[in-house]
Structure 1
């Protein structure tokens, strides 16, 4: 573990609750995200839904693990659901990217906890994103967080490797101030080491989830391909696929109104 931010292992995930009435929707973010990334979507769903925004394992304020695999990550989500959001009945489960693979695995592990499943711009099989994420992790790890005194200084350090200001802002949200310097909240060193598992297949040797599934893809993203459809539809036979035009990988942030409309319609079906 990164010595600057050690945490004990556990299964209680950090959560933020938005709304106090209606069916429960649980949101699971992607790599280097955090629960609050779905805050605007959750607000748009109120007062008809109560939203629970989870920090995934090794992210935000949630526990760290010694290694990454989807069975462990999904198991932690399942444990959290059993003891909290789904303790009185199944919930709607939404996941983007890495979080999408986590919610797919969770639905296969504990289908009784899941009412509707929403998978955002990811497939159950391996993606070709390893080099992209390795590049971003290298850029994050190269920052001198121990000596920088402002986020603007770190933003300037990262600009050459990550020229897109919006993407830099997304990555730098993972910083927290510790005294007079910064530290990374995610378990960055471990995730960098285990990136092949992060972008790899979910466990899918057997079983299926027979509840309704919404599979959302961005038209400009390459994460959902024709090659991944047979496995997706075998594991989730009631899958409905929707492509959001003009969106890349971060569908919920790039096209929030369209995404919310599709989500609301599916959950009400």
Structure 2
């Protein structure tokens, strides 16, 4: 599937692909993309069933990785967060010739119990035809989601004018077991890989490191202090600086 892309930076600069996570879009990475565009040709994508990209009944990681392969015009650094991190790992394991250096933000190649089905249900729980402002939608979401930052993140995908979510909520709900899972996949990625976590997040634990190293032999680990799962939104400058240091390291 052809993905919607946002591209910035010099045409002759090293390529960097940014792959957002579940419910995310290219615009969520706009600040970091802009800053990294000083020395990289940065492409940020909307994943299938997200943003302005097409919808499909298949939301498997094989399909997501295939979309990324079709987006790349040649070898590229690849940065993926959460669901996008898993898709990026599958791409690196199955098409290593397309990935120069890999950055995986706050996710591991393991199955999780962290279902996000409750967020899908919250977004589907009210009648969009009765909503005229984003603040009205926020008030309704607040009945089911306490965290203001999570609501603000989800509301970036709400098109108030057209009364719709820019998310294929039905498919994402149905495919949630695949999204939080990890496919049966073999192979190894022999190039440098950075696993970057939020220090306050529990998505990448010491117990997941053996599995990471089994698939990514040159894995390195770093964490961002005072950041949770959405580390790029909470600490954009620190995340950008860490990414930059890894990509320019000899």
Q: TM (normalized to structure 2)?
A: 0.95
Q: Gaps spanning 5+ residues in structure 1: where?
A: 1-10, 82-86
Q: Aligned residue for 1:38?
A: 29
1:154 and 2:137 aligned: yes
Q: Aligned residue for 2:91?
A: 106
8 Å CA contact 1:123–1:232 kept in 2: the answer is yes
Q: Structure 2 CA distance, aligned partners of 1:173 and 1:232?
A: 32
1:29 counterpart (14, 17, 20): 20
Structure 1 position 195, deviation (Å): 0.8
Q: Structure 1 CA distance, aligned partners of 2:221 and 2:63?
A: 27
Structure 1, residues 76-127: CA drift from partner, whole Å, max 9, x if none? Answer: 111121xxxxx2x311000000000000001111111110100000001012
Q: Structure 1 CA distance, aligned partners of 2:102 and 2:213?
A: 13
1:48 counterpart (39, 50, 70): 39
Q: Structure 2 CA distance, aligned partners of 1:217 and 1:42?
A: 19
8 Å CA contact 2:189–2:216 kept in 1: the answer is yes
8 Å CA contact 2:36–2:244 kept in 1: the answer is yes
2:194 counterpart (192, 214, 231): 214
1:103-252 equivalence runs, <5 A: 103-130=88-115, 133-177=116-160, 179=162, 182-204=163-185, 206-252=186-232
- Corresponding pairs, count: 248
Match of 1:41, SS? helix
8 Å CA contact 1:219–1:245 kept in 2: the answer is yes
Q: Aligned residue for 1:69?
A: 60
Match of 2:217, SS? coil
Structure 1 position 163, deviation (Å): 2.2
Structure 1, residues 206-235: CA drift from partner, whole Å, max 9, x if none? Answer: 211111101001111010012221111111
Q: Aligned residue for 1:3?
A: none
Q: TM (normalized to structure 1)?
A: 0.89
2:4 counterpart (10, 14, 20): 14
Q: Gaps spanning 5+ residues in structure 2: where?
A: none
8 Å CA contact 1:93–1:115 kept in 2: the answer is yes
Superposition RMSD on alpha carbons, in Å?
1.3
1:259 counterpart (224, 227, 239): 239
Match of 1:94, SS? strand
8 Å CA contact 2:8–2:41 kept in 1: the answer is yes
8 Å CA contact 2:19–2:47 kept in 1: the answer is yes
Q: Aligned residue for 1:4?
A: none
